[in-house]
Structure formats: structure tokens, C-alpha cells
Homo-oligomer: A and B are copies of this chain.
Amino acid sequence: MPKPGAPLSRERVLRAAVAIADAGGIGGLTMRSLADALGVKPMSLYHHVANKDEILDGIVDVVFSRMELPTPGGDWRHEMVKRANSARAVLRRHPWAIGLLESRTAPGPATLRHHDATIGTLRRAGFPLALTAHVHALLDSYVYGFAVQEAALPFSGPDSVTEVTEDILEHLSPDDYPHLVEIATGHVLRPGYDFADEFEFGLGVVLDAVAGLLADVSPGS
């Protein structure tokens, strides 16, 4: 879809890169496919980004920019739920971003802003400094790890679960993996099952525990 009218820019390049990765995975994102999508030749891209690595750093930051920020000063639990749900939804739309997180150590401004807002919200709610760091690491671990698992699922929504799970079960011997088979037949194949529901559950458990930690430290709130 070449758009000859608009001039190229770093923003346009990154936006197009995100769109390509969404459509065909990170593997589909090449300097040539990106140039094609922008109606341009590959080498033109290098006037707006230094190299492909910078594009990868850039699109990770674009992904962070699409997550809703928590608001320091609001009810901390509500803000953390809002942030976690938004982050998970965004990572689900851009699953390739999770793999990039691991290899990128140069966070962009949106990434920094995101973490700053999260930490700020906890601090404002009365979490002591060290506990804030602990809780931040804990919540981020949960969100990222859930996204990893969700991306690795062979099915992508509640619709295809039954079909895919039955296919997998045919290749899983109950002798070799009795408990996996039990979970698949007795839990996953139940009507109404949706892995996404696990997110709310786990998040609630974690936040309850965190609330307990806060209460121990500042009994007055």
C-alpha cells in the first residue's frame, strides 16, 4: 500500500513497521517489505533511522506508548488493574514485542514514561521505596509472563480452543502426560473456558497479596 503523497519520517517508518510486524510477525519485517509498504525504496529508510536495530528499539517503544498509563494519585489498586489490563491487551495485539523486550536494553521515552508513572502511582499511594521496587518487579513479571504464555498458546481465542485442544490431545498419551491430559479434558475443554480469564484471576491474587503488604507497612490507611 504505497502512499506517495506523505513525506517519509521516523514516525511513519515506525508506524508502518508495527503494522507489518502485526500482520506477518517480526520475520515479515524486512527493510524491503517496510519500504514497499511506504511506497519507497529500501535505502530511503536509512535517512530516518540508523539501521534496523533502531527500528526494533523504536517499535518496542511504540508498543509501550500504546499502553494506558496509571495516574499517580488515583486509587493504586484501580490504577494497577487498569495498567495491567491495558498492557496485556497491547501485548496481545503485538505479540512480537515480547520477544524483543528480551533483546533490547535501550528503553525509549514511552517506556521510561510508563515505568515512571507506575512507580509514581505506587509511591503516591504510600508504598515505601523498597517495597515499590519489589511490587513493581512483581507486577511487571506477572504481566510480561502472562503475555509470553498467551503468545505461545496454539489457539488465539475461545473459539478455536476446542478444536485445537482435541487435535493436541490425540498426540498426547495419557500414560506419558497424565496431568496435562487431565487438565485438557477436565478444564480446558469445559464450555466457556478462556485462557484470558486466568489473567484476571492471577492479577487479583497478586494484588490482594500486595494490599496485604501495604497494610502491614502503613496500618493507618
Tell me the chain A residues, 163-178 only, with Cβ under 8 Å from chain B: 172, 176-178
Task: Report, as a range, how many residues of chain A touch the other chain.
Answer: 35 or more
Residue A221, interface by CB 8 Å: no
- Indicate if A152 sits at the interface (CB-CB under 8 A): yes
Contacts of A179 in B (CB 8 A): 116-117, 119-120, 123
Question: Looking at the complex, which of A9-17, A74-82, A182-190 is the stretch in contact with chain B?
Answer: A182-190
**Binary flags per residue of A199-216, CB closer than 8 Å to B gives 1, else 0:** 001100110111001000
Of the candidate stretches A41-49, A61-69, A127-135, the one touching chain B is A127-135
* Residue among B101, B145, B182, B183 making CB contact with A141, cutoff 8 Å: B145
A152–B206 touching, CB < 8 Å = no
Query: Do A149 and B141 form a contact, CB below 8 Å, given A180-B112, A187-B133, A205-B213?
Result: yes
Tell me the minimal C-beta distance from A18 to chain B in angstroms: 16
Q: How far is the CB of A94 from chain B (nearest CB, A)?
A: 11
The residues of B that contact A210 with a CB separation of less than 8 Å are 205
Residues of B within 8 A of A153 (CB): 105
A31 in the interface (beta carbon within 8 A): no
Nearest-neighbor residue (CB-CB) of A107 within chain B: B152
Checking B144, B172, B202 against A144 with a beta-carbon cut-off of 8 angstroms, the contacting residue is B144
Interface contact A138-B178, CB-CB below 8 Å: no
For A112, list chain B residues within 8 Å (CB). Answer: 172, 176-177, 180
Task: Write out the residue numbers on chain B whose beta carbons fall within 8 Å of the beta carbon of A198.
Answer: 133-134, 137-138
A residues neighboring B (CB under 8 Å): 25-26, 95-96, 98-105, 112-113, 115-117, 119-120, 123, 129-130, 132-134, 137-138, 140-149, 151-154, 172, 176-180, 182-183, 186-188, 195, 198, 201-202, 205-206, 208-210, 213
